[in-house]
Amino acid sequence: MTTDTGRGRQAGNGRATLKDVAERAGVSVPTVSRVIAGNYPVATGTRRRVERALRELDYVANTHARALRGHAINAVAFILNDVRGPSFAEVAHGIEQEAARQGRLSLICTTGGHPDRELEAVRLMREQGAEAIILIGGVRDDEGYRVRMRALAESLDQAGSRLVLCGRPSLGEDVPATVVEYENEAGAYAMTSRLLGFGHRRVLFFGGDPETTTAAGRLAGYRRALADFAVEAAPELVAPAPFDRAAARAVLRERLAAGLDFTAVFAVTDAVAAGALQALTEFGLAVPEDVSLAGYDDVSPAADLRPQLTTVHVPYEELGRVAVRLALDRRNRPERGQQHALLGTHVVVRESVGPR
């Protein structure tokens, strides 16, 4: 017995359109459009009738129709392994913040670390017409990867969008991508130097997959510091291990049981450091009295550990913000080629590193 509301489509079946609103207000569709846009003169009485109809029908614009006309969809997309990693979460936050500040929507997609899912995600985001597609996190930097990325950068560029590499190495000056990196090599150099300065000579570089860009950069810094201090780089003192805490713990436990000798551990990641700390403690080694321990990232576990972890601070949130800012900026005044930003890292001294 409910009276018809005058809505074109049956109640409860889809959203009201401009046409519905126009009918109800007794005006034409363009007029309603103009009232909404507010960039055109409309008689006050008409405006009021339209506004009422808008409210009564609970009108919301259809972005897709708009996007179809205007070509701009105002969204940035970001693709990462896993939101739960604290460092990823910070980058995500930075992106989200800056995107919102610039009136952009954020699309998110996680890949669980599968390169093929990354490609699939990119396709989805492209279809959505995202203004920028931001790829976050380390990768295996092989030839296949570089070829894929270069093609992607070109093709997004053609389409008026932008590929952003966040925490990944440059593809070359001529590739139309935005690259926002942070110091892996320099941070690791600084931390290793600190360890060496404390008199440590057998420093275990622990964790990570050296094929991965992140781990490789950190390892390079470690090696350079050793060289500068004229300390021999013993091969057994580079011990790869998965990035996660539990695996790191197991690997170090095994090394310890095998009698590996060292006085300091430089963990490739704070999470790896947390695992290492467990293994060390279980082995009866005190940190930093018996063994010094350093991490990299300065994310959530670092300050929770006892002792608190001395680590390298990475400005993850900033990374995300800069990524969005640069990408949108470039869209406003296009130029050929690459944009490149390199953010600094620095040692954060806490309690886990001490003299030998």
Partner DNA sequence: CTGTTAGCGCTTTCAC
Partner DNA sequence: GTGAAAGCGCTAACAG
Binding residues (CB under 8 A) for its own copies: these are 11-15, 58, 60-65, 67-68, 71, 73, 82-84, 86, 89-90, 92-93, 96-97, 100, 105-110, 123-124, 126-129, 155, 157-160, 274, 300-301, 304-306
Task: Give, to the nearest 10 degrees, the angle between helix 44-57 and helix 29-37.
Answer: 90
Please identify, using beta-carbon distances, which residue of 130 and 237 lies nearer to its own copies.
Answer: 130
Instruction: Pull the structure tokens for residue 129.
Output: 């017409």
Residue 158 interacts, among DNA, its own copies, none and using kind-specific CB cut-offs from 5 to 8 Å, with its own copies
The Cα–Cα gap between 125 and 109 comes to: 9
66 binds DNA (CB under 7 A): yes
Q: Which of 221, 202, 139, 188 is nearest to 295 (CA)?
A: 188
Note whether 73 binds DNA by CB under 7 A.
no
Taking the complex as a whole, how short is the minimal distance between the CB of residue 20 and DNA, in angstroms?
8
C-alpha distances in Å from residue 65, one per residue of 1, 30, 34, 71, 100: 34, 14, 15, 10, 22
What is the rounded distance in angstroms from the CA atom of residue 137 to the CA atom of residue 91? 10
Q: At what angle do helices 143-158 and 115-128 cross, to 10 degrees?
A: 0
- Region from 38-46, 78-86, 223-231, 292-300 binding DNA, contact rule CB under 7 A: 38-46
Measured distance CA(324)–CA(318) in Å, rounded: 10
72 lies in the site for DNA, by CB under 7 A: no
At what angle are helices 29-37 and 18-25 packed, to 10 degrees? Answer: 100
d(CA 85, CA 210): 20
Beta bridge partners of 311: 348
Binding to DNA by residue 161, rule CB under 7 A? no
Residue 269 tokens, joined: 């990641």
Q: For residues 68 and 83, which CB has a smaller minimum distance to DNA in the complex? A: 68
47 binds DNA, rule: CB under 7 A? yes
Query: Residue 155 interacts with DNA (CB under 7 A)?
Result: no
Q: What is the per-residue binding string for DNA in 185-204, x denoting contact by CB under 7 A?
A: --------------------
Considering the complex, what minimum distance in angstroms separates the CB of residue 74 from its own copies? 9
The single residue listed with the structure tokens 């070829």 is 147
For DNA, the closer CB: 70 or 210:
70
CA atoms of 253 and 272, how far apart (whole Å) = 13
27 binds DNA (CB under 7 A): yes
Closer residue to DNA (CB): 5 or 28: 28
Which residue number, 231 or 285, has a Cβ lying nearer to its own copies?
A: 285
User: By the criterion CB under 7 A, which residues form the site for DNA?
Assistant: 14, 17-19, 27-31, 33-34, 36-37, 40-43, 45-47, 59, 61-62, 65-66, 68-70
